[in-house]
Amino acid sequence: MLRITIVLTSILLFLTACEEKKAPLTTANFTVEYLTNPTGIDAAAPRLAWTVQGAYRGARQSAYQILVASTREKLDLNQGDLWDTGKIASDGSIQIPYQGQPLRSEQVCFWKIRVWDGQDVASAWSDTQFWSMGLLDRSDWKATWIGYDAGLKDKRHPVKPWGNETERKDVYRPLPAPFMRYEFELDKPVRQATLYATALGDYRFFFNTNRVGNDYFTPGWTDYNKRVYYRTYDVTSLLKTGPNVAGAILGPGWYSGNVANLGQNFYGDKPRLRGQLHITYEDGTRDTIMTSSKWKTAHGPIREADMQGGEHFDARMVWHGWDQPEFNDKNWSPVDTTDSYDIELQAYPAQPVVKHVELPPHSITRLAPGFYLVDFGQNFTGWTRVQLTGSSGLKIEQRFAEMLNSDKSLYVKNLRSARATDTFICRRPEPTVWEPNFTYHGFRYVELSNYPGHLTPDKIRGVVAYSNLPRTGNFICSDSLLNVLYQSALWSQRSNFLDIPTDCPQRDERAGWMGDVQVFARAAAYNMDVSAFLSKWMREVAETQYEDGRLPSMAPRIYGKTAAGWGDAIIIVPWRLYEIYGDKRILEEHYEGMKAWMTYVEKNSENGISKVWSFGDWQHIEGDVIPTDLFSTAYFAHSANLLSQIATVLGKNDDAARYQQLFAQIKTAFKEEFILSSGLLEGNSQSAYVLALQFNLLSDEERSKAIKNLMRRIKIQNHVLSTGLHASGKILSVLGENGHKDKAYELLQTDKYPSWGFQIARNATTPWERWDGYLGAGKFNDSPTNSFNHFVFGSYVEWFYSTIAGIRSLEPGYKKILIAPRPGGGLTFAKGEYLSIYGKIASNWEIVDGRFLLHIEIPANTTARVILPSDAPMEAVTESGNIAAEAEGVMFVKAGDGAIEFEVQSGVYQFEVPISN
């Protein structure tokens, strides 16, 4: 009777929570197309989002109103002349498409919102936000493409696939970065000045000595023969009445510099720059300054600028004052021009690459007079900023590497044909602080040669650069190894999320391998806000697709090889973005491409068995091989199942039924083809069992056998992993969800070979591509595929958030949240946080004297299911010192099988319960 009373009380309190009058809601975290106050976007119906905040349990939005105005003044008067939604009865606060007046090029839109709570009490109006439109029509672009072709040759410089160290000497033809300038006069005060800039190459703009923006490697990597991004900058403060100078430096970038191991000039051999400065004066009149044949150019100190080769800077050739008025440019040449290219210009839709932090040296070793070895203590992506003082003509070199040989020399064999060398030639014996402009390296160590004087820690810094993605997650626990593994995965994501998600940042590859991204996508989203970043990359994926539906294995496309498990990214990554951010539009945009891929795989299958080639479970342990047909068919089934769900979301019911039927057919074929009479899967590898279980390809009875066989394989492997790129990211969840959570913890916490802990024990600071990349005592695997910074092999971090902290999504965008931490591995506490699109989610637990204490935070406008790991009776659970089922905002659901479940509304909760044995 007591239990019935508690349950009824629980339901009543859950339903009536927040019925009493509370303080009004507030709003925060405003975004347009996932960006904060973006400039120069080109989405015709940009999507708005905000978070709701309330200092009480059960805070929720019942309605909203959006005002969008053409001027700040009109918005201040609550005049939404572009869009006034009126009061909309809805709890929607994400993915709200603009539905106002048609937007024109360059239009600035000011907006604000207010919301109503469950008691119909309105919030105050939010602070004013804004976005601006870019150049929406091709005809808006009037500027000429300009460059400097002196010294360039129409010659491709290819590198043999998987080039070796000796080839480095002859694959680089120095590609300089020309300087360009144009003087112009402004005869009246400027109200607004906006620069639209793009390049076939890599640009940097200046006005009157001031650099424009703080971004790097612009406009970004695309298939330049089809599509190029442009960026938009507010440069009002950089202009002045009277004489002005526009300056630019044009590097080869991905356009004509070395790309992967395909050499130079992959997309073209003549870099080009295009820019338009749109000026509005205080009196309302307008003017435009453009790149044109009137600009002048000359080579300067940047004698070579290459992503892989490095930068060669000759300070003796610096043009002092080149970006100031009245500079004497009589010896400069007219620019070379190209009127037009048959390519599409699009606004850059994500966060750019920027500097983030500067690392001090961990140690500096003097190897010989003028020769130093610097260890930054962390493998990362970027470059150095170094203070140099030397006589004119002194040549100082920096060489970069991830690892050292046993004699303290740089281990560079794994760089293949990437020279990774920066060179500085001194102008005069005065201190100069230098850092490169158009290159980056993946490294922990840097060797300096011919360095004059004594290199002290204050004279050198490691500059960390990556796409400016907001941090969304955090994790820490009582196990120091797991904390190091977490940081290792995070650093690898930083290292490789540089405009596109590259597989590795150091060697002559640095490519957007699709398989890596689809495996790591959810882990990536826990760590950082990848909504705009991966949405942008999906554009690159889409433009790689061939007419027959097949896809290459990387985007942008530089190799054409099609591979199962890699091409499937066109389905898996948009689905992840939908799950994580509630993004239905990404499914709509890529739906036809998804179908085309599935059609291609169907045509290349026999009786439900895919015959699409694949790399398989890349870098698995030798001798534990997954058959190619099994691997490809598993992904064939998985993509059919996902595509059925996607079709359902989009209301395409006939397609949904067809792809679900296809999934069932493939599942049947899979079992008939690959389950042997002994009950083993063909190949009997850890990877095979993991994929079959993760992709739901087995019956209940078959699942039970597969789990037992997987456990046997792990035991045979001496209780370590034999999996590769795909299954290593899934094995922890497969074990945890099938009754073997303790084995998952064991695999994480061991330092036996092969394991993640084995790498940490050998001073790894980022995940390796190969389990045997380095065995200690100077023993390297000299395979050409031996990266020491491969983000996909840090996909274990997903399990840290989803299982150790227990934060998962039950509805798209985390509208409904699951909090289900699963302690184990001797952990006594764990703290996980994730900033979802609705707001902060926290799950912090500790075990004290046999009791499980759980602190959770559920953001306003969402609800959660909480599962406590205990076989105690429901009455034993307390929340903030009271019986949990009687607490405000809490409703008991069920208990049993070592778990107690509750539904909770938004708010902060403190649960306590005796922990299960």
User: How far apart (Å, rounded) are the C-alpha atoms in residues 656 and 636?
Assistant: 16
Instruction: Name the 3-class secondary structure at 894.
Output: strand
> Do 841 and 817 meet the contact criterion of CB atoms below 8 Å apart?
yes
Q: For 539, phi and psi rounded to 5 degrees?
A: -65, -40
Contacts of 33 (CB under 8 A, 6+ apart): 41, 43, 46, 47, 131, 349, 532
* Bridge partners, 147 (sequence order): 336
Q: How far apart are CA 632 and CA 622, in angstroms?
A: 19
Burial classification of residue 737, based on how many CB atoms lie within 10 Å of its CB (0-12 exposed, 13-18 middle, 19 or more buried): middle
Q: Is 769 a catalytic residue?
A: yes
Say how far apart CA 459 and CA 477 lie, in whole Å.
Answer: 36
Residue 715 to residue 717: CA distance in whole angstroms: 5
CB 236 within 8 A of CB 351: no
Q: Which is the catalytic residue, given 402, 509, 833, 879?
A: 509
Element (H, E) at 314: strand 310-314
Q: Can you read off the two tokens belonging to residue 738? A: 């099938």
Number of C-beta neighbours around residue 561 at 10 A:
14
- Angstrom distance (rounded) from CA 131 to CA 110: 7
Cα gap 41→51, rounded to integer Å = 22
Structure tokens belonging to residue 462 = 């490691």
Closest CA to 95 of 149, 159, 137, 34: 34
Reported residue count of the chain is: 917
Residue among 304, 769, 833, 888 flagged as catalytic: 769
On whether the CB atoms of residues 551 and 545 are closer than 8 A, the answer is yes
User: How crowded is residue 485: how many other Cβ atoms within 10 Å of its Cβ?
Assistant: 24
d(CA 634, CA 490): 29
CA distance 203 to 539: 22
What's the CA gap between 136 and 104, in Å, rounded? Answer: 7
User: Rounded to the nearest 5°, which phi and psi values hold at 265?
Assistant: 60, 35
Q: Is 509 a catalytic residue?
A: yes
Distance CA 183, CA 186 (A): 10
Written as six digits, the tokens of 105 are 């090029």
**Amino acid making up residue 35:** L
Q: Residue 529 phi/psi, 5° resolution?
A: -80, 105
Q: What's the CA gap between 554 and 899, in Å, rounded?
A: 43
Q: Which residues are catalytic?
A: 509, 769
